[in-house]
Amino acid sequence: MFLRFRNKLYGASALLILVLGVPTFASAGAKIKVDDTKWFSVGMGFRSSIAVTEDGADNGTGISKNIGTNNMRLYTAAKVHENITVEYNTEIGSTTATDDKDIRLLDAVVKFNIAGFDFWTGRFLPPSDRSNLDGPFYLNAFDFPGVAQAYPAIHAGRDNGAAIMKEYNGGQFKFSYGVFEGRTINTNADSNPDQEDNFLHAARATINFWDPEPGYYTTSSYYGAKDVLALAFVYQHEDDGAGSNTDALRADFDAWSIDFLMEKKNQNGSVVNLEGAFYNYDTDNKADTSITQGQSYLLLGSYLMPNSIGWGKLQPYVRQQHFAREAGADGGHWRTEGGLNYIIDGQNAKLNATYYVDKNGGGADEKGTFLVGFQFQL
């Protein structure tokens, strides 16, 4: 396994160096100024990948080859008043052929600032873990950590709701709390357990011991722009939010998680990054096809090289994920990966090569996947 992984990683390094001709993208979208308090902005995000998986073909033994548009997003925002901003974002495309023809709503939210508090209402990311608030474009790896992260959502982590947020000392400490639709007949994959239409309550609190992190959304790498040591706690709850619509099979949904990020720039210009999270999902032992009861974790370590090669810098990383399902005795799902990012312009332009191994269930065959990813934003 080690020799195979090493050969894959060497191949990834060669591939990334060969594609250095990809142009650098700008770091900000276009903004149209209306007057001193009003403006309109537009931006885009694109992620694509090529993946080869052993024993992944339909016959169970052949190698599957997949080329997909993971994300194609259009970002728009308008400041309509000194204290009011409206944001509307959409997405088209996925790694599956059945989804790449439809435009999906990501965010449709109005943001108010009153007396130093931010109030949001509409569709957006609820208070949750760093990975979810990163989204796919601001991770320190290419794939979203879907093995470990399993908070319920309508699409891409979003839900309809309203939230209040506040930060202190420029983001040294910040909190957010919101109420959301949670489980509904329209968004639940099985018989809706929440017949009384209860709210999903979601809260997050973050403390930064080193440099502050302002803003609601997060990133998992600053590439040396700041030194970060952050710790956050998340809690979500919904009455009758798990199980099915039969009384005996209905239960409350509770989930909590802890995530941390440490990033430090060294004197030689290199950057060390360590990230981790632990999750606990509780359905009171009721069977649920949308939410799995159990515990999970993710650990990631990366090292940004100090010297540039061509237009960017190399950043090798390793990541481990595990979800321990409490139902059954299969041991859950593991994913172990090693990858190499080529950072051209931070999160706005980077390339990725990853080799990861999935093991799902006790005694199940391991499957290895080699992936090359492309990410650009404006």
Percentage above 70 pLDDT, the chain: 84
**Separation CA 110–CA 186 (nearest Å):** 23
Give the number of domains in the chain. 1
For 316, left (φ over 0), alpha (ψ -120 to 50), or beta? beta
**Mean pLDDT, residues 343-361 taken together:** 94
Q: Which residue has the higher pLDDT, 329 or 184?
A: 184
Burial group, residue 157, by CB count within 10 angstroms (0-12, 13-18, 19+): buried
- Report which DSSP code applies to 137: G
pLDDT at residue 7 greater than cutoff 70: no
**Separation CA 254–CA 116 (nearest Å):** 30
> How far, CA to CA in Å, does 221 sit from each of 30, 69, 91, 140, 242?
24, 23, 24, 6, 34
pLDDT confidence bin for 364, thresholds 50/70/90: low
**Separation CA 265–CA 238 (nearest Å):** 41
**Separation CA 154–CA 320 (nearest Å):** 26
Query: pLDDT digit string (tens) for 88-142?
Result: 999 986 544 455 567 889 999 999 999 999 999 999 999 999 999 999 999 999 9
Rounded to the nearest 5 percent, the helix, strand and coil shares of the chain are: 5, 55, 40
φ, ψ for residue 123 (rounded to 5)? Answer: -110, 125
What's the per-residue H, E or C state across 199-219? CEEEEEEEEECCCCCCCCCCC
How many residues can be counted in the chain? 378
Strands 103-114 and 64-81, by their bridges, are: unpaired
Residue 101 pLDDT: 60
Kindly state the tokens that stand for 19: 């594609």
**Separation CA 287–CA 181 (nearest Å):** 21
**Separation CA 316–CA 354 (nearest Å):** 10
CATH of the domain at 236: 2.40.160.10
For 269, left (φ over 0), alpha (ψ -120 to 50), or beta? left
Range of the domain at 341: 2-377
pLDDT confidence bin for 370, thresholds 50/70/90: very high
Q: By C-alpha distance, which of 329, 245, 243 is closest to 287?
A: 243
The helix or strand, by DSSP H or E, that contains position 12, with its residue range, turns out to be helix 2-18
Compute the half-sphere exposure of residue 226: CA atoms within 13 Å on the CB side of its CA: 16
pLDDT confidence bin for 186, thresholds 50/70/90: low
Residue 51 pLDDT: 93
Compute the half-sphere exposure of residue 326: CA atoms within 13 Å on the CB side of its CA: 15
Position of tokens 């909190």? 175
Position of tokens 């998340």? 234
Per mean pLDDT, which range of 26-30, 138-142, 180-184, 271-275 is the poorest? 26-30
pLDDT confidence bin for 20, thresholds 50/70/90: very low
Buried b (16+ CB within 10 A) or exposed e, 217-236: ebbbbbbbeeebebebebbb
